[in-house]
Structures are given as structure tokens and as C-alpha cells.
Structure 1
Amino acid sequence: MRSAYQYRLRLTKSQVVKLEKWLDMLRHQYNYLLADRFNWYEQNRCATNACPLVCHLPELRDNPDYFSQKKTLPSLKKNRPWYGEVYSQVLQDCLKRVDLAFKRFIKGDCKGVRSGRPRFKSKNRYRSLTFPSLGKNPISGNFLKLPKFGEVKMVYHRPIPDGFKVKTATITRNADGYYVTLSIQDDSVPDIIPIDEVSNPIGIDMGIKSFLVKSDGTEVAIPQFYRKAQKRLKKVQKAVSRSKKGSNNRKRAVVKLGKAHKKVADTRKDFHFKTAKGLLDSHDLVAHEKLNIKGLAKTKMAKSVLDAGWGQFLSILSTKAENAGLVTKAVNPKNTSQNCSNCGKKVPKKLKDRIHSCPHCGYTEDRDINAAKNILNLAVGHPVSSKAYRVSQPLGGVGKKPALYR
């Protein structure tokens, strides 16, 4: 099992200067290596349908991959001695970022989906560095020991669970300060309960009117964090647009705008974590729709869809369930709001029709609750009676949750 814990850092002025110097050097190295990749790409390619009879291409050279660029680090430190201040593994991680970005541009990911052309990083775009490995027991009280950087003070608001080891540390510069994300690992993974052994399943239907509606009839109201903060964000954005580019007033306004947007994102993420915990505390299986969020974000409902943050919530829900040994099941959303959850017959209805009334069996229910029940039936494989929701022990004796989930 692998998870990530994030803590806020309390850096001294000298540590801030040192960290910013490291980030600036890594940014220059990232741009240089990326330019080297692009030079090779432009010099060694030629369209098959437009190849001239006489080729004037320069002398071809080998593809600069991760290992060939890694061999240039000793000469880099020799020609530019100030790069010797940066921890060697942090420099190597910079090479990995270049390699990953370029490979996704040329070959694509595991599914063959290619990313856009990688950008050269400006000062505001290169904001993090990673320590791929740490020493033994790197945390002592409120201090974290980083190789070749020293001890940094952090707000240690929650301890790392017993049995977990700190693998990597990533320092990030955000709008409101510096944070460190610790990647922790434990080899013991809780067994996932089979679907046919769940005792208290639930189906949820994501929506815009309500954040989600459960198959037992209860719902979670949608908070609309972005829409409520629009007036305040508009005022701060106006201060940015009216200030002169490059001025100190504009820099201060940009920082203020970043903090305002981060507050909206943090409150939304906190809501998602609490909602996911509430579901998993009461149910051992959560069934949901397999939504095409990117497609929905291109419709007229884009602002409401992105404000709800369905993708982030479902990702958190899946991760938390896996860490706790519980189950989440994504089902095909086709006709979940049209079919009757009682008899299975299709009952066509428009989006404005909020009540499901089946002419075949006479079943009447709220449209969203009927959809949630259909989602649950598809996940379990058979209709689930209402008795399944009245269980004395929510987890059905599955066992105690691991400390990471609690």
C-alpha cells in the first residue's frame, strides 16, 4: 500500500533562498535538456510524403534518452560548479521529468494517448523538486531531514501510521507557502472483500442539483464552492488585470488571486474527503457511474460539473476504499435514469421529469433515487432489497480498518 501525506513547511529565510536557488538551477537544466530533445527531434525526422531527392539533413545522432543525458551530469558539475550544491538524486529526478514529458509527447501513455508539446518552464511554472530517497528515520519530532539540504521544520499535524516507511519527499511552492508531500509505503495490503460477500452496499447517483443521491433515499447537498466565491474572485481578478505588467502591485495581486483560488480548491477537497469517509464508514460497497467528465465539461453544464469536482471525489473514494479493504464499483451509466429499478422495463423521460413513474408495475420514485438503485443493481448483479440497508454492523464483520484509513 502506498499513500501520500502532505505537511506545511516553516522554512527560515536562508532555507527559502536556498530552495529558490535549487529550483532556479533545476529549471534551467530542465529547459536545456528539453531543448536538446527538440533539436534531435527536428533534425532526425522527415515526412515520408515530402522527402526531397537530395537530402540536406545534418549528421544524424543518437536519440538523447534518460541514460545518455544522465551521463552529462558529471560534466555539468565540472563546468558549472554551483550545480554541485544540488543533491545528485534531485538532479536525476529532473531528468526523469524531461524524459516522461517528451515520451508522452512522442509515444503517448500506456493507452496510446499523446500529450501536447512540452513547454519550457518559466520561473512560476517550475515549482517543485523531489528527493527520491531519504535516510533512515528522517522525521524527528517536527523536523524532516533532507539529504544535502538539512533539517526543515514542518507542521506535523498527523503522525505517520505504524509500519509505514517514508520513501520520497516532494517540496512544492504554492500560493500560500511551501509544502512537503511524503510518499509512504507499507507492504501489508488489506484483502478486498468479494462483491458477493458485501453486507451493506449502496449506490450513488452524482448530480448537479444534489452532489449525490443514495439508493436508500438520502442525499448530500452540493456546496457550490466556486459559484459562492465568484464575487470575491472577480474583485481580485480585476485588481490583477488593472495593474501594470511587471510591477510589484501586480505581483502582490497575483499572489492574492492564487490564495483565493487555492482556498476554493482546498475547501472542495476537504468536502470530498469527508463525504467519502461518511460513505465508507457506513457501507462496504459503493457503486457509482463511470462518468465521462471530460465530455461533460465541454457542455453548457461545464461550470457546474467542474465546480462539483466529480473526478476528484471518485478518485478519493476509490483510493480510500482500497486502503480500507472495501469495494467501489463503476458501472455503465446508460439508461440508469430511464429503466425502472423495480421491474427493469425502460420508461423514457426527459431531463425536466424529476419523478419516475413506471406504467408497467406502478412503481413511483424520485428520478435520482431510482437511478441510484439501478446503479446498485448493476454493480451487485441482482436487485437489492431494502432490508440490505438495515444491518446492525455496517461493515458486516469485515474487520477493523487499518490505521491509515481511520
Structure 2
Amino acid sequence: MRTAYQYKLRPTKLQAIEIDRWLSMLCAQYNYLLADRFNWYEQNRSPVNACPLICYLPELRDAPDYYSQKKKLPQLKKSHPWYAKIYSQVLQDVVKRVKVTFDRFLKGDSNGKCSGRPRFKSRSRYRTFTYPQIKGECLQDNLINLPMFGKVKVILHRSIPHGFKLKTVSITKKADGYYVTLSLEDLTVPTIKPDFDPNKITGIDVGLKEFLTTSEGETVTIPQPYRKAQKRLRVIQKRVARRKKGSSRRQKAVKQLGCQHKKVADKRKDFHFKTAKYLLNKYEVIAVEDLNVKGLARTRVAKSVLDAGWSSFLSILTNKAVNAGLLVVPVSAHNTSQDCSNCGEKVPKKVHKRWHECAHCGCSIDRDQNAAINIKNRAVGHLGFK
């Protein structure tokens, strides 16, 4: 099992300047390697049924790949000596990032879905570099020892669990400072419980009126961190728009805007983790809807959907359940609000109608709780519980 712990760094002024210098050089190398791949791709591809009679013949060479580009790094350090001060594996990780993004553009991901054309990164958009391999003893006494960089102070707000093995270290520059992300591996894989208590199974229906409603009728209020921060964000955004591009005052305003957006994201993430922990402490099996959040984010309620962060919450809930040996069961979301949870008959209702009343069996219940019960019943049938 792999997990990640993130801590705040407290570098000195000289160390902060050095981190920025590394990021600047790695960004330039990333763009150069990506351009090399694009040059070969554009010059050596031609439609089979539309080959031009007169065309430019480029210099014949093999397609640049991960290994050929990595072999050029020693020559890079000779021609550009300042790159020799960067740890070799950090440079190799840049080559890997180019390979991954270009392969997704041409071949697609594991599901066969191709991403868009990779973009060259500006200096402000290249924020992370990674040590792919690092010794577990690098973290001692609130200091992390980074190869060819030195010791940097880190705020250990929580200790690393015993038995976890350190795999990779990533340094990230965010709006409010620098962070280190430790990728940890635990060889003891938790097993799913063989038998579950039927009384500790629930279904949850996520919504925009309440963040979620359980099949027992319990609700969790939606926090809406973005909508509550909109007034403040509007003021700072105007400040950014009115200042001259390239000026130091504009850079300060942009940083202030980034800090405010990060604050909103942190509030949402904290709410998701606390809600997931509360549910997993109370239930052993949680049934959820298999939602198409990307599709919902293109509708008229897109701002509210993205502010709620359903996709992020369900991902956190699933990961935490796996770590605890519990189960999160996704079920079809089709007609969960329309079907009666008592008799199964379809009771059509529009979105604004928030109360479910069945004319066939007389069931009268909140619309969201009715949907949550349907979700629970579908999960119980899927798992084969009685």
C-alpha cells in the first residue's frame, strides 16, 4: 500500500532562492525535451493516403524516447555546467515526466483515453521536482537531508508510522510557501473484513441542498467554501486585473489571490477528510452513487457541484475505507430519486420537489433519504446480504 504525507518546509532565504533556481532550470529542460519530441513527431509523420509529392526531408534519426533522452544528460552537464549542481535522478525524473505526458497524448492512459496535446510550461506553472529514490534516514530531528541540496527544516506535525518505507520525496512550491511530500510504502496490506454487521451498512446520497443524506435520515450540512469566499476573491481579482502586467505589485496581488484560493481548497479538503472519518467510524459498508461528476460540472449548477467536490470526497472515502479494511460500494445512480424505496414503483418528480410521496403504498419521506435507501438496497442486493 502506498500513501503520501505532506509537510511544510521552512527553508532559509538562500535555500528558497536555490529551490527556485532548480525549478527554473528543470522547467527549461522539460520544455527542451518536449520540443525535441514534437520536432521529430511533426517531421516524420504523414498521412498514408495524402503524402505530398514535394516535401521537406528531415535528418533521419530514431524517435526520441526515454532512454535516448536520458543518455544526453551527461552531455548536457558538460555543455551547461550549471546543470551539474542538480542531483542526477532529479534530472532523470524530468525525462520521465516528458515520456508520461507524451505517451498519454499518443497512446492514451490505461483506459485508452488520450489526453490533449502537451503544453510547454511557463516558469510559474512548473512547481515540483522529485527525488525518485532516497534513503529512509534522510529525515531526522525536524530536518530533511536532500542529496546535493542540503538539510532543510521541516515542520513534522505528525510522525511517520512505524514500519513504513520511504520511497520518493517531492518538493513543491505553492502560493504560501514550500512543501515536501513523502511517498511511503507499507508492506502490510489490509484485508477486507470477511463478514460485515448488517446493522452497520448504509447508503449515502450526495446533493446540493445537504452535502449528504444517509439512509437513516442523518444529514451533513454542505459548507460551500468557495461561495463564502467569493466576495473576498472578487476584491483580490480586481486588484490583479488593475495592476500592470510584469510589475512587482501585480506579482504580490497574484500571490495573494493564490493564497486565498488555496485557503478555500484546504477548507474543502479538511471537510472531506473529517466527514469520511465520521462515516467510517460509524459504518462498515457504505453504498454510494457512481456519479458522472464531469458531466454534472457542465450543467447550470456547475459552480455548486465543483464547490461541493463530490469526486474528491468519494475518492478520499474509498481510500480511507481500503486502509481500514472496510468497503465502499458504488452502485448505479439511475432513478434512485424516482423509485419508491418501500414498494419499488416509479414516482416521477421534478428537481424542485424535495418530498417523496408514493401513491401506491403511501410512503412519505424526504426525497434524499428515499434515494439513500434505494442506494443501500442496491448495494445489499449486489453483495448478496439478506
TM-score interval, smaller chain:
over 0.9
Any runs of at least 4 consecutive aligned residues in structure 1 with deviations exceeding 4 A, and if so which? 194-199, 382-385
Residue aligned with 2:365, SS: strand
Give the aligned partner of residue 137 of structure 1.
137
Q: Does structure 2 conserve the Cα–Cα contact (< 8 Å) formed by 1:196 and 1:380?
A: no
Give the aligned partner of residue 301 of structure 2.
301
Tell me the CA shift for residue 384 of structure 1. Answer: 11
What is the CA–CA distance in structure 1 between the aligned matches of 2:52 and 2:229, rounded to whole Å?
Answer: 58
Give the aligned partner of residue 401 of structure 1.
none
Give the aligned partner of residue 314 of structure 1.
314
Tell me the CA shift for residue 336 of structure 1. Answer: 0.6
What is the CA–CA distance in structure 1 between the aligned matches of 2:355 and 2:384, rounded to whole Å?
Answer: 21
- Pair 1:332–1:316, CA change in 2 (3 A): same
Could you tell me which runs of 5 or more consecutive residues in structure 2 were left unpaired when the two chains were aligned: none
Give the aligned partner of residue 328 of structure 2.
328
- Pair 1:84–1:52, CA change in 2 (3 A): same
Tell me the CA shift for residue 50 of structure 1. Answer: 2.0
CA offsets per residue over residues 96-132 of structure 1, 9 Å max, x none? 1111111111111111111111111111011110011
Tell me the CA shift for residue 352 of structure 1. Answer: 2.0
Q: Does structure 2 conserve the Cα–Cα contact (< 8 Å) formed by 1:239 and 1:253?
A: yes
Could you tell me which runs of 5 or more consecutive residues in structure 1 were left unpaired when the two chains were aligned: 389-406
Tell me the CA shift for residue 193 of structure 1. Answer: 2.2
Q: How do 1:147-166 and structure 2 match up within 5 A?
A: 147-166=147-166
Q: Percent identity?
A: 61
Structure 1 residue identity aligned to 2:25 = M
What is the CA–CA distance in structure 2 between the aligned matches of 1:384 and 1:365, rounded to whole Å?
Answer: 26
Give the aligned partner of residue 369 of structure 1.
369
- Pair 1:383–1:317, CA change in 2 (3 A): closer
Q: Does structure 2 conserve the Cα–Cα contact (< 8 Å) formed by 1:284 and 1:326?
A: yes
Q: How do 1:219-258 and structure 2 match up within 5 A?
A: 219-258=219-258
For these two proteins, the number of residue pairs brought into alignment is 386
CA offsets per residue over residues 332-378 of structure 1, 9 Å max, x none? 10011111111222122221221111222222111100100100111
What is the CA–CA distance in structure 2 between the aligned matches of 1:253 and 1:336, rounded to whole Å?
Answer: 46
Give the aligned partner of residue 96 of structure 1.
96
Residue aligned with 2:123, SS: coil
Residue aligned with 2:345, SS: coil
Give the aligned partner of residue 78 of structure 1.
78
Residue aligned with 2:312, SS: helix
Q: Does structure 1 conserve the Cα–Cα contact (< 8 Å) formed by 2:138 and 2:145?
A: yes
Structure 2 residue identity aligned to 1:234 = R
Q: How do 1:176-191 and structure 2 match up within 5 A?
A: 176-191=176-191
Give the aligned partner of residue 262 of structure 1.
262
- Pair 1:384–1:100, CA change in 2 (3 A): closer
Q: Does structure 2 conserve the Cα–Cα contact (< 8 Å) formed by 1:10 and 1:154?
A: yes
Give the aligned partner of residue 174 of structure 1.
174
What is the CA–CA distance in structure 2 between the aligned matches of 1:359 and 1:382, rounded to whole Å?
Answer: 28
Q: Does structure 2 conserve the Cα–Cα contact (< 8 Å) formed by 1:195 and 1:327?
A: no
Tell me the CA shift for residue 198 of structure 1. Answer: 5.5
Q: Does structure 2 conserve the Cα–Cα contact (< 8 Å) formed by 1:225 and 1:307?
A: yes
What is the CA–CA distance in structure 2 between the aligned matches of 1:364 and 1:206, rounded to whole Å?
Answer: 20
Give the superposed CA RMSD: 1.7
